[in-house]
């Protein structure tokens, strides 16, 4: 049951059917009525696969994102998706399950399926992937991340400054032994680490590398980090977790180990997801403008999809959101 059958039954050409379907050209009311009637009666469902082939446009954008810090990424996704859907695009989401999983296969998948554009929320340094990304002719925007060597427009915060401000916030609450948990070896994490170090140095404090703990941005990972600190008898009076999810795990483990929050240990998160307002104690955090990031990333992509010049990056403001987990 295609356009051809509809055409025959309505006694018109396929061109006419196509035209009433798409409203591309004026069609006399009579033919329009006839065609619409047949379509309705036959329960015709347009075939967008065929349509995409001739149009060379799929109205699909690909989104590659990590599954860690899910609540944060989901929210960005939700806001971006909303804008994209409004504009008639659908989103093919590729969720990179863990750090070991390669982005390669997802990138191939998106390219083979001819997505019109891409939003990349997952850092990668795989040279082959980088090469493919550069060569691809479709618009791409990096969201929440920065990939050195890739000149696509970015929509994100200033991670260095955000971590700097977060650290200062803890310092201003009298903390001196601040553990930092995050993913090192990635641009975002490393920049935040720099901000942390600078803030400590400026406060005249030495950087103790035993306080810099690797984490995977999951709740479990937060718990493990605290467990490690305590097991190794490393003294600390604050934890700065570089995702709210890790912070939740951190608080859980601290309470379990009999620590008081924040009197014994203050906890500061990162991201500003809704969950932080529902924990006990509530979570102080470095808040990203999640809604804005998602929406602006989508809007930038749409602009490029509409042929506008690839725009510059957008660095959005962060803020500190207080909570009872810090003094």
Partner DNA sequence: CTGAAAGCGCTTACAG
**Which lies closer to a copy of itself via its Cβ, residue 94 or residue 314?**
94
Residue 25: name its binding partner from DNA, a copy of itself, none (Cβ under 5 to 8 Å by kind).
DNA
- To DNA, the closest distance from the beta carbon of 287 in angstroms equals 45
The alpha carbon dihedral of 235, 238, 239, 242 has a sign of negative
**Contacts to a copy of itself from residues 146-205, by CB under 8 A:** none
Beta strands in the chain (DSSP E): 60-66, 90-96, 117-120, 140-143, 154-157, 178-182, 212-214, 238-241, 266-271, 284-287, 314-316, 319-321
Query: Which listed residue (29, 30, 40, 112) binds a copy of itself by CB under 8 A?
Result: 112
Rounded to whole angstroms, the Cα distance separating 255 from 249 reads 10
Binding mask 33-72 for DNA (x = CB under 7 A): -----------x-xx--xx-xxxx----------------
Rounded to whole angstroms, the Cα distance separating 22 from 209 reads 63
Does position 20 bind a copy of itself by CB under 8 A?
no
**Which lies closer to a copy of itself via its Cβ, residue 135 or residue 233?**
135
Question: How many residues are listed for the chain in this entry?
Answer: 327
Query: Which listed residue (14, 111, 171, 316) binds a copy of itself by CB under 8 A?
Result: 111
Residue 279: name its binding partner from a copy of itself, DNA, none (Cβ under 5 to 8 Å by kind).
a copy of itself
Query: Which listed residue (24, 25, 46, 151) binds a copy of itself by CB under 8 A?
Result: 46
**Contacts to a copy of itself from residues 270-299, by CB under 8 A:** 274-275, 277-280
Does position 16 bind DNA by CB under 7 A?
yes
Does position 306 bind DNA by CB under 7 A?
no
Rounded to whole angstroms, the Cα distance separating 14 from 16 reads 5
Rounded to whole angstroms, the Cα distance separating 121 from 75 reads 12
How does DSSP classify residue 98? S
| Window contacting a copy of itself (CB under 8 A); options: 88-96, 182-190, 206-214, 314-322 | 88-96
Does position 130 bind a copy of itself by CB under 8 A?
no
Does position 27 bind DNA by CB under 7 A?
yes
- How many other C-beta atoms are found inside a 10 Å radius of the C-beta of residue 146? 17
Does position 45 bind a copy of itself by CB under 8 A?
yes
**Which lies closer to DNA via its Cβ, residue 24 or residue 310?**
24
- How many other C-beta atoms are found inside a 10 Å radius of the C-beta of residue 278? 10
Contact between 301 and 142 under an 8 Å Cβ cutoff? The reply is no
Contact between 237 and 264 under an 8 Å Cβ cutoff? The reply is yes
**Which lies closer to DNA via its Cβ, residue 11 or residue 151?**
11
């Amino acid at each position: 049951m295609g356009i051809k059958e509809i055409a025959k039954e309505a006694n018109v050409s396929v061109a006419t059917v196509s035209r009433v379907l798409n409203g591309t050209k004026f069609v006399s009311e009579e033919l329009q009525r006839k065609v619409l009637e047949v379509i309705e009666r036959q329960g015709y469902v347009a075939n967008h696969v065929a349509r995409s082939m001739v149009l060379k446009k799929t109205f699909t954008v690909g989104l590659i994102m990590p599954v860690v810090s899910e609540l944060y990424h989901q929210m960005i996704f939700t806001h971006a998706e909303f804008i994209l859907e409004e504009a008639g695009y659908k989103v093919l989401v590729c969720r990179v399950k863990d750090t070991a999983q390669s982005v390669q296969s997802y990138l191939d998948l998106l390219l083979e399926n001819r997505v019109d554009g891409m939003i990349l929320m997952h850092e990668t340094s795989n040279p082959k992937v980088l090469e493919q990304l550069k060569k691809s002719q479709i618009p791409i925007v990096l969201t929440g991340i920065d990939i050195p060597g890739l000149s696509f427009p970015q929509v994100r915060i200033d991670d260095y400054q955000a971590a700097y401000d977060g650290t200062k916030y803890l310092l201003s609450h009298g903390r001196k032994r601040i553990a930092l948990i995050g993913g090192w070896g990635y641009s975002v994490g490393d920049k935040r680490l720099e901000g942390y170090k600078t803030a400590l140095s400026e406060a005249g404090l030495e950087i103790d590398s035993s306080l810099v703990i690797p984490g995977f941005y999951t709740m479990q990972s937060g718990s493990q980090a605290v467990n490690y600190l305590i097991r190794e008898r490393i003294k600390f009076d604050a934890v700065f977790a570089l995702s709210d999810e890790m912070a939740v795990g951190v608080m859980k483990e601290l309470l379990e180990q009999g620590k008081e929050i924040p009197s014994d240990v203050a906890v500061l998160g990162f991201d500003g997801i809704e969950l932080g307002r529902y924990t006990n104690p509530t979570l102080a955090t470095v808040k990203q403008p999640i809604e804005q990031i998602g929406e602006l990333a989508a809007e930038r992509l749409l602009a490029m999809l509409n042929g506008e010049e690839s725009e510059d990056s957008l660095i959005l403001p962060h803020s500190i959101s207080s909570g009872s987990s810090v003094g």
